[in-house]
Amino acid sequence: MGNLIKLYHRLGAHYSFLEKRVVKEAVAYSAIGAIGAVIDFASFYFFLTRGLGVAVSQWLAAFLGFSNNHLWQHFWIFDHNRHLQVTYPFSLVVSFFAILASAPVLIAIDSVVGNIWVSKLIVGAVTAVFLFSVRKFFIFVKK
């Protein structure tokens, strides 16, 4: 553990992404992401059990999770000075493409993994990392 802390401090001196503020944002983003994941998974299950296909269920559920997450990120997580009328449409466009791609990727991963829930976790994790990066460095910035 001591070596990990030393490495953190050594890297932290050179890389701004290890700043306390960014770490705090990443932790808060993960906590809100967990809530969004519950919304996503619960609505995915709801839509599937109502007879909607995997792709449509994924698109609808991912959109619901996205909307919840974006509002929390806008008002609580990221330090920025942009209005919701600016951040939401921009984030929605980026997320639209991520959500659109998530269904075929989910189906492809599920064809290999064989468990829709594990496949959904994989897709969700990859999407979360991608969207954090986009939101942190392009959407929720000080202008």
Q: What is the pLDDT of residues 79-137, one digit of tens each?
A: 666 676 777 788 788 888 888 888 899 899 999 999 999 998 999 888 888 877 887 77
Q: pLDDT value at position 107?
A: 92
State how far the Cα of 38 lies from the Cα of 117, in Å rounded to an integer: 12
Q: pLDDT value at position 112?
A: 95
Torsion of CA 107, 111, 116, 122, to 10 degrees: -80
Q: What pLDDT digit, counting tens, does each position of 50-66 carry?
A: 999 999 998 999 889 88
Residue 121: enclosing H or E segment and its boundaries? helix 116-134
Local structure of 142: helix, strand or coil: coil
Q: Are 113 and 119 in contact (CB under 8 A)?
A: yes
State how far the Cα of 136 lies from the Cα of 109, in Å rounded to an integer: 27
pLDDT band at 18 (very low <50, low <70, confident <90, very high): low
In this model, does residue 17 exceed pLDDT 70? no
Q: Pull the structure tokens for residue 131.
A: 């969207």
What are the C-alpha distances in Å from 64 to residues 2, 68, 137?
Answer: 41, 6, 23
Cα 85 from chain centre: 20
pTM comes to 0.69
Q: pLDDT value at position 25?
A: 74
State how far the Cα of 134 lies from the Cα of 118, in Å rounded to an integer: 25
Q: pLDDT value at position 42?
A: 95
Q: What is the DSSP letter of 17?
A: G
